[in-house]
Every structure is written in C-alpha cells, then in structure tokens.
Chains A and B, each alone.
Chain A
Amino acid sequence: MRKVSKVAKAWDRGFRVLAAIGAASPAVFLVSIAAIVLVESIPTIRFMGIHFLTETRWDMGNLYGALTHRNGITAPAGASYGALVFIVGTLLSSIIALVIAVPVSVGTALILAYRVRGPLGFLLNILVELLAGIPSVVIGLWGILVLVPWIANALAPFLKSVLGFIPFFGGQTGTGYSLLASGIVLAMMIVPIITATTRDLLMQVPLLAREGGLGIGMTSWEVVRYIALPYIREGFIGAVALGWGRAMGETMAVLMVSGNATNILPQNLYSPISTMAAFIANQLDSAETDASGMAVHALSELALLLLAITLATNLVARWLVRPRRRGGVVAP
C-alpha cells in the first residue's frame, strides 16, 4: 500500500492552520471591538461616573473656552455627558416596536406555517424574507416619504382622540418625527426576523401532537392555542429577545424618522426622541470639532453601553433558542 506522501501531509497541516485562523477571526474581532471601545471610554467613565446613566444633559461644553478638570480628566468647561435621554429613547422605541411586531409576527408565522403551502406558500415565504433584506436606509426613506406624514396627519390625531385620556397618548401631536414613527419603523425591521424564527419553530411542532388535538375534537385554532404555541414558548421568547436586540442596535432608519431630540425626555408618544445608536451616528461632525477629544470618548462610552445591552439580550436569546432534546412524544 502506498503511504500518504509527506507533501500531502504538510499541505494538510498547513490548511488546517489556515482554516483555524479563519475560524478564530470572529473571536479576535469581537474581543478587539470590546477592548477598543472599553479603553477609549475610560476617560468619560472617570469624568462622569454613574451620572453618565442618570443625567439628561449632553453638552460638549465651550469648545473654545477654558478647560475644567475633574477626577484627573480635562474637559471643555461646562461639558456634561448624560446619556439618559438616549437610553430611554432606545428602550421605549424598541419596546413599542416589540408591542407592534410580536402579535403581527405570530399571526404571519401561523399563516406561513399552517395555512399556505405549495407554490403560493413558497412565494409568500420569499416575500417575507425579502423584507428582511431591505436596507435600513431604504426603510428610513419610506419612513420619511410615507410614514411620518401619515402619522402627523392621521394616526397621531386619531390615537389622541381615541386614547387621549391615557397619559402617554395625549398632548401635542407634533410633526410626525417621533417615538411612534421610530417604533413602527423598527417593527418593520424586526417582523421578518421574529416571523422566520417562529415559522421554523411552528414547523417543528410534531404532527402527532397536532393531530391528537384535532382527534379529541379541538378546533384548528384551539390546536394552535393549546398545543402549538405552548410547545414553542421558550424558543419564541428567544426569537423575541433576538428581535429586541436588533431593534436596540438599529441605526439608520431610526436616525431618519426619530426627530433627533437631545437633552429632553419624551413627553408622549408623539415627541421626538433619539436612540443611542442614532445619536452616535448623528454626532460625527461635533465629535471631530472637540480638540480635547472628550466627545470621542463620550460617544465611545455610549457605544460600549449599547454593545453591552445588545450582547446581553443576544446571549439570553441564544440560550433560549438553543436546540435541545426533549422527552415525550417528540420524534425528530
């Protein structure tokens, strides 16, 4: 028998090393992103301390005036970096997005999984997946063209007249560039993500369990309600968490329709807001004009916070949707 040649063995070893480098690269990038953003935000962490999270005023100070010193850090006089407005904006807009997207996604996933099949089902599946591929800047374009005028002229007055007695729904209806617009745009972006995951989960519900439900005389809706939905519950929560992480990290569409409020907390559903991601994108020019470099460090801390929040939701989501073995009737 001929042995494997030395050359082939050397090639094999070399290729393995190359492949390992490729496989290690995501970890390397992830660690360097976290490390760089963390190191760059140390000056602001020392300068602002906990007030970064509790202060609403984001002010780069007088860039051409005197400098102040605090905790060994030099910053322009009057500088204050408080991110509360953006934290609140991020949380509120993403929660509104979830409130809209979750029921819509469940309904769509049910239809896609149980009600359409054959070529029509294939086509409709493609359409929903297409929505996931549309760039966020195009969704923002749609937001400015269609959504914002519609909110200003129709939706906001309507909501106010019907639900105006609830505190957050009353008050000024504004220009349409608002918390509500951000929430709807974000919902557009996360519906395909949640729908696709939920649809796949629904397809995994064992046919035997569903047929059993029908066999004891349940209606098809009761099968969904009492068998299919409880079966996918954990995975579904994971899918929602995944969508939530995406909604909090989304930048462009929100930047275009949020109204970019600074230094003021939203008063109602129709107030302009800003999110952490949108604010970072919005502040490029001003960050570059700050000779002391503190603005860059402050934005870096904002990026660090955003990274931490989205990573945490992502980890929880992955843990919930992880494939697992179940006992009982399950076949596959």
Chain B
Amino acid sequence: MRRRRRKWKSAFGWGLAWLAFALVLFGLVDLVGSVLWQGIRSFHFSMLFEPTQGIAGGLENAILGTFELVFIGVVFAAPLGILGGIFTSEFAPPRLAAVIRFVAEVLSGVPSIVIGYFGYLLLVLHFHWGFSALAGGVALTLIMLPYILRTTDTSLQQVPLLQREAAWALGMTRTQAILKTVWRPAASGMATGLLLAIAIGLGETAPLLYTAGWNSNNPSLALTHSQVGYLTYVAYTYLDEPYAQARQLAYAAGFVLLMLILVIQLVVRFVVWRSAARSGRSAA
C-alpha cells in the first residue's frame, strides 16, 4: 500500500517536471513560430534595399544602422574585453581576478535602460553629441564588454598551465607566451564569445532608444549629431501604428532580427559542437 503510494508520488512529481518542460518547449516553439509566420507573410526581399518612407517602405536604413551601431560597439568592446580577459586570467593575482570578475558580472546586471539613460545624460546632453551613432555604439559597448571579458577569461582559464610553463621555459616573457602560444587553444572560445556578444548587441533596444534616435535615411558616416535607425526600433514603434503597412514593416523587422540572431546562435553551437567532438570529449 505504502509502496504504491510512493510510486504514484514519484510518477506524479516527474509528470509535473515533464509538464513544465513541455510548457517551455511549447512557449519557445509558439514564439518563434508565430513571429516567423507573421514575418514571412509581411517580408519582401525588396525591403532589404529600400529605406523607410513614413510608415511604409523598406528596412535598408534600419539594417545598415544596426550593423553600424554594433560595429562601433564591437570596435570599443572587443579590445577592452579581450585585454581585460587576458589580464584577469594571466596577470592578475587570484584576489584581484575575483574582484574583476565580480565587477564585470555586476556591470552585466545593470538594466539596459539604465545604460541607455546614462548614455543620454553623459553623451547626448553633456558631450553634446546629440542622438548619434557614436552615442549608441558606446551604449552597446557597455552591454557587450562584460560578456566578452568573461568569455575570454573563461576560455583562457581552460588552457593547461603546462603550455604556459613550456613557453616560459623557452625564455619567453609572459606577453610573448600569451601572444604566441596560449591564445591558440582559447581562440575558438573567444570567437564564440565575441559572436554571442554581437548577437546580444543586435537584439538590444533599450540602450539605443535614448542614444541613437531614429532616422529614415540610410546612416551617414557622421559619428555624432546624426541620428541612426535600427531594426528593433522598427519592430517596437511601428507595431503601435494603426496602419497595416506599418505593422507589416514591424513584423518584417522582427523576422530579419530573429533570423540574424538564430543564424549566429546556431553557427556558434555548431562550431562548439564540432570542436568538442574533434577533441574527443563528449558534446555538451
């Protein structure tokens, strides 16, 4: 009797767990499915080569603007993050390394809208840059930096100490050891982190609302005093418009964005899986 009750309880518990799991999968499939479905119905290839006009037109300006903003973000975030990760893993004494990791984690926990508002106060107002590509790019830098730093640090930590010692024994300085040998096994991990940081940057909206503004023309090369359009803005703003055309543009923007990010994510997973399989470890 008692044993049967315990068996039922066990089945019930696992049943709930499976139910929760099914719910998550259903949510994911429903989300991706409905956004892709609406997106495919509203998307035309001509949208890729046509800037926005009023509430209709294409997405060329937004796509180019997104790439410009992310590019500027990466130009600042990648060197700082990679150098910071190298310092944390290779040079810093354990205490200091723990502090740096902690600070980076805290920075990544700052709400993105606060970063955007900080950009507005400092860059747009105090520095008089206006809503601009540079202000938006710097805001994205703050989002991406802690992420790049952490992944660089983690992948360098996985390189065995033996490799460093071998390099030092040859008379290399620490810098030479890092730049000539230690970075190689860590390279794929660092590249993965960089790609995922780019995916994060592509999908951000909140930091850009207060820094990049909006522009229905293609981005100029001016870094300041010229507003830039970006994809997430289209998806957010045009959905509220009462016109079917505007909503279609919003769906199309969501679609392009989701496709870009899914492609990056899948490529990254594939690369990780390949390198894990090749080195003979079990993939996970």
**Residues of A near any B CB (own CB < 8 A):** 2, 4, 8-9, 11-12, 15-16, 18-27, 29-30, 32-33, 36-37, 40, 103-108, 110-112, 115, 121-122, 124-131, 133-142, 144-146, 188, 191, 195, 219-222, 224-225, 242, 245-246, 248-252, 255-256, 277, 280-281, 284, 296, 299-300, 303, 306-307, 310-311, 314-315, 318
Given A23-B83, A32-B122, the answer on whether A144 and B146 have CB atoms closer than 8 Å is no
Chain A residues with CB under 8 Å of B117's CB are: 37, 280, 299-300, 303
- A249, B20: Cβ atoms under 8 Å? no
- A107, B21: Cβ atoms under 8 Å? yes
Chain B residues with CB under 8 Å of A144's CB are: 239
In the assembled complex, B43 has its CB within 8 A of some CB on chain A: no
CB-CB nearest in chain B for A146: B34
B residues 90-123 with Cβ under 8 Å of A? Answer: 90-92, 100, 102-107, 109-118, 121-122
- B239, A36: Cβ atoms under 8 Å? no
Given A136-B203, A142-B31, the answer on whether A219 and B145 have CB atoms closer than 8 Å is no
In the assembled complex, B69 has its CB within 8 A of some CB on chain A: no
Chain B residues with CB under 8 Å of A248's CB are: 111
Chain A residues with CB under 8 Å of B35's CB are: 138, 141-142, 145
Which listed residue, B11, B145, B171, B283, touches A122 by the CB 8 Å rule? Answer: B283
Interface centre among A36, A135, A188 (most CB of B within 10 A): A135
Chain A residues with CB under 8 Å of B23's CB are: 104
- A23, B100: Cβ atoms under 8 Å? yes
CB-CB nearest in chain A for B104: A26
CB-CB nearest in chain B for A144: B239
Which listed residue, A32, A33, A137, A242, touches B205 by the CB 8 Å rule? Answer: A137
In the assembled complex, B14 has its CB within 8 A of some CB on chain A: yes
Chain B residues with CB under 8 Å of A121's CB are: 284
- B31, A251: Cβ atoms under 8 Å? no
CA distance A44 to B279 in the complex (A): 59
Chain B residues with CB under 8 Å of A29's CB are: 107, 142, 145
**Residues of B near any A CB (own CB < 8 A):** 6-7, 9-14, 16-21, 23-25, 27-28, 30-32, 34-35, 38, 79-88, 90-92, 100, 102-107, 109-118, 121-122, 125, 142, 145-146, 149, 171, 173-176, 178-179, 196, 199-200, 202-206, 209-210, 232, 235-236, 239, 250-251, 254, 257-258, 261-262, 265, 269, 273, 283-284
CA distance A133 to B23 in the complex (A): 18
Given A22-B84, A280-B117, the answer on whether A146 and B232 have CB atoms closer than 8 Å is no
Chain A residues with CB under 8 Å of B235's CB are: 137-138, 140-141
- A37, B121: Cβ atoms under 8 Å? yes
- B27, A222: Cβ atoms under 8 Å? no
- A134, B31: Cβ atoms under 8 Å? yes
Some 7 contacts from A to B, beta carbons below 8 A apart, are A8-B175, A26-B107, A111-B17, A128-B24, A137-B232, A188-B31, A299-B117
- A125, B204: Cβ atoms under 8 Å? no
CA distance A249 to B111 in the complex (A): 5
- B20, A134: Cβ atoms under 8 Å? no
Chain B residues with CB under 8 Å of A225's CB are: 13
- A21, B258: Cβ atoms under 8 Å? no
- A245, B203: Cβ atoms under 8 Å? no
Chain B residues with CB under 8 Å of A2's CB are: 171
* Interface SS of chain B: helix
B249 to chain A, nearest CB (A): 12
Which listed residue, A33, A135, A250, A311, touches B118 by the CB 8 Å rule? Answer: A33
CA distance A220 to B12 in the complex (A): 12
Interface centre among A112, A141, A256 (most CB of B within 10 A): A141
CA distance A277 to B117 in the complex (A): 10
Chain B residues with CB under 8 Å of A314's CB are: 105-106, 109
Chain A residues with CB under 8 Å of B87's CB are: 16, 19-20, 22-23
- B91, A16: Cβ atoms under 8 Å? yes
Which listed residue, B6, B86, B202, touches A135 by the CB 8 Å rule? Answer: B202
- A281, B88: Cβ atoms under 8 Å? no
Chain A residues with CB under 8 Å of B205's CB are: 135-137, 251-252
Chain A residues with CB under 8 Å of B115's CB are: 33
CA distance A251 to B27 in the complex (A): 20
- B21, A111: Cβ atoms under 8 Å? yes
- B254, A19: Cβ atoms under 8 Å? no
Chain B residues with CB under 8 Å of A111's CB are: 17-18, 20-21
- B114, A33: Cβ atoms under 8 Å? yes
Chain A residues with CB under 8 Å of B113's CB are: 249, 251, 277, 280-281, 303, 306
Given A37-B117, A133-B261, A225-B13, the answer on whether A122 and B284 have CB atoms closer than 8 Å is yes
Which listed residue, B27, B103, B114, B251, touches A249 by the CB 8 Å rule? Answer: B114
- A18, B20: Cβ atoms under 8 Å? no
A128 to chain B, nearest CB (A): 7
CA distance A242 to B109 in the complex (A): 9
B3 to chain A, nearest CB (A): 9
Chain A residues with CB under 8 Å of B104's CB are: 26
- B110, A307: Cβ atoms under 8 Å? yes
- A26, B21: Cβ atoms under 8 Å? no
B54 to chain A, nearest CB (A): 18
Which listed residue, B105, B106, B145, touches A25 by the CB 8 Å rule? Answer: B145
Which listed residue, B21, B83, B265, touches A18 by the CB 8 Å rule? Answer: B83
Chain B residues with CB under 8 Å of A303's CB are: 113-114, 117-118
The 8 closest A-B pairs by CB, nearest first: A135-B203, A107-B20, A249-B111, A22-B83, A22-B84, A19-B87, A221-B10, A219-B10
A324 to chain B, nearest CB (A): 13
CB-CB nearest in chain B for A225: B13
